[in-house]
């Protein structure tokens, strides 16, 4: 990556992380705060926790499309201002309904897809994967940091203070956007990162992709519901006050990452993706059953939570890789858009239904709901076909019309290791999938002079 591209990647990752950090910091402390607000019930508390997911799911694809017309930076600015305003509304609200409104507004600042599109505008195709990886890693890092920092900040400034800080972080993101992030020379549609309306029917009609969409929906429904119950279990059952709950989350998260890494290696390097995938769902479901039965001991809880987060992290890393492998070569961005919307809708359902379940039977109700969700996911995923192990690549090509594109497609498909090829004349790009074991043997220089990984 050039210095220009490195600056683009890390500045956009910074904007992403500033926004996500604010969203995640309230997870471990929100239920205690919300229970003291006027109008608070288990359902409204759960709704407030998950409400941002609904507007995020509805608006992130439209935001991306609008940025093609009105520009990336203006749309990111609008989204961050809306997000900051929602944070202020939540901070100033004395009722649960005001907080719900604030969370809805936070989700309405759905700039994730626009940040990815800007990253694609600012980088060459051959380093696009690195750019997206840098941005993507900020999500996991922000989540881990937020679970530790959230309880500590809550002890000093309270949840309303965290909402105020979230607004400040969003405004800092605008500062990074205009002070650090380069200005793109041109806006282009990127099928590898953005949604294409003409491809929605194809993506939504693909049973394999829908299984994966249901997977990310279920994963984040379970996660969000869990944080309605877990803080209360730590406080009410084990006597750990809010300010010290980070002492549980930190070692659990570190141990879970240590367990996740070999699982990802086995899945990718040993081509055992489906067995690892199904196994992680089983561990996820069994951890909910274990939480239902054994949460009165700190040692038991730490062990179960470590397994839960190890399975969660494994799925969080595996699902995007599976989408990339399964999606049609030219529809990766569209498939990722639907997948991401499914994730945020899962957050909304997890919060709302999790709150309802907590109202019926306390933490046990939440763990039963999460176990049922994992069981349904298992039933859907077990019929999934084992994925092909392919790498996505793009070629810059110069074709005048569809006839030339068809001829080039046929030539590319005749190359050893090329399992899928689509040439899009208007993009000037050939979208390929190549057998990952033969990727180094595929010589594409003669077609482009710039074979690049997407």
pLDDT value for 304: 95
Domain co-membership, 206 together with 74: no
Residue pLDDT, tens place only, 160-184: 999 999 999 999 999 999 999 998 8
Domain co-membership, 316 together with 284: yes
User: 156-181 burial, b for 16+ CB within 10 Å, e for fewer?
Assistant: eeebbebbbbbbebbebbbebbeeeb
Number of separate domains in the chain? 3
Q: Domain boundary residue among 334, 369, 387?
A: 387
Task: Judge whether 401 lies within some domain.
Answer: yes
pLDDT value for 222: 97
Q: Domain boundary residue among 387, 411, 437?
A: 387
| Interatomic CA distance for residues 296 and 392, integer angstroms | 48
Q: What is the mean pLDDT of the chain?
A: 88
Task: Judge whether 274 lies within some domain.
Answer: yes
Domain co-membership, 407 together with 331: no
Residue pLDDT, tens place only, 341-358: 999 999 999 999 999 999
Task: Judge whether 380 lies within some domain.
Answer: yes
Q: Domain boundary residue among 142, 165, 187?
A: 187
Domain of residue 421, CATH code: 3.30.70.100
Domain co-membership, 219 together with 333: yes
Domain co-membership, 212 together with 278: yes
Task: Judge whether 193 lies within some domain.
Answer: no
Task: Judge whether 179 lies within some domain.
Answer: yes
pLDDT value for 448: 64
Task: Judge whether 18 lies within some domain.
Answer: yes
Domain co-membership, 45 together with 162: yes
Domain co-membership, 31 together with 95: yes
Q: Which residues of the chain fall short of a pLDDT of 70?
A: 125-126, 436, 439-443, 445, 448-454
Domain co-membership, 256 together with 311: yes
Domain co-membership, 270 together with 376: yes
Domain of residue 32, CATH code: 1.20.1250.20
Which domain covers residue 45, as residue numbers?
1-187
Domain co-membership, 363 together with 404: no
Task: Judge whether 56 lies within some domain.
Answer: yes
């Amino acid at each position: 990556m050039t210095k220009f591209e490195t600056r683009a990647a890390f500045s956009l990752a910074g904007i992403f992380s500033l926004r996500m950090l604010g969203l995640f910091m309230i997870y471990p402390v929100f239920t205690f705060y919300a229970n003291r607000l006027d109008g608070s019930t288990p359902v409204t508390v759960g709704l407030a926790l998950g409400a941002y997911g609904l507007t995020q799911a509805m608006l992130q694809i439209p935001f991306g499309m609008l940025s093609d017309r009105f520009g990336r930076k203006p749309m990111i600015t609008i989204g961050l201002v809306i997000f900051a305003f929602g944070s202020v509304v939540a901070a100033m609200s004395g009722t649960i309904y005001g907080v719900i409104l604030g969370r809805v507004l936070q989700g309405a600042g759905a700039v994730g897809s626009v940040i990815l599109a800007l990253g694609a505008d600012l980088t060459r195709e051959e380093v696009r994967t690195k750019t997206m990886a840098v941005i993507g890693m900020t999500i996991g890092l922000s989540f881990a940091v937020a679970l530790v920092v959230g309880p500590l900040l809550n002890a000093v400034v309270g949840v309303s203070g965290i909402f105020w800080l979230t607004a400040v972080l969003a405004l800092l993101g605008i500062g990074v956007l205009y002070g650090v992030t380069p200005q793109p020379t041109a806006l282009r549609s990127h099928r590898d990162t953005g949604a294409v309306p003409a491809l929605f029917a194809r993506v939504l009609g693909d049973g394999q992709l829908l299984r994966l969409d249901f997977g990310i929906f279920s994963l984040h429904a379970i996660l969000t519901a869990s944080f309605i119950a877990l803080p209360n279990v730590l406080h009410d059952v084990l006597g750990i006050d809010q300010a010290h709950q980070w002492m549980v989350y930190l070692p659990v998260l570190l141990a879970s990452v240590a367990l996740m890494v070999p699982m990802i290696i086995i899945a990718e390097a040993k081509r055992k993706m489906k067995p690892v995938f199904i196994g992680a769902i089983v561990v996820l479901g069994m951890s909910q059953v274990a939480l239902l039965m054994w949460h009165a001991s700190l040692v038991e809880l730490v062990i179960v939570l470590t397994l839960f987060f190890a399975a969660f992290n494994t799925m969080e890393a595996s699902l995007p890789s599976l989408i990339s492998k399964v999606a049609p070569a030219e529809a990766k961005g569209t498939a990722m858009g639907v997948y991401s919307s499914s994730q945020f809708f899962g957050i909304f359902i997890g919060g709302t239904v999790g709150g309802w379940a907590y109202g019926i039977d306390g933490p046990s109700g939440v763990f039963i709901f999460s176990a049922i969700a994992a069981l349904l996911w298992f039933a859907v995923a077990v019929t999934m076909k084992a994925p092909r192990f392919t790498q996505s690549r793009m070629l810059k090509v110069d074709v005048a019309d569809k006839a030339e594109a068809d001829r080039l497609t046929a030539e590319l498909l005749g190359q050893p290791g090329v399992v899928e090829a689509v040439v899009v004349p208007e993009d000037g790009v050939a979208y390929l999938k190549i057998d990952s074991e033969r990727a180094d043997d595929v010589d594409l220089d003669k077609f482009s002079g710039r074979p690049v990984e997407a």
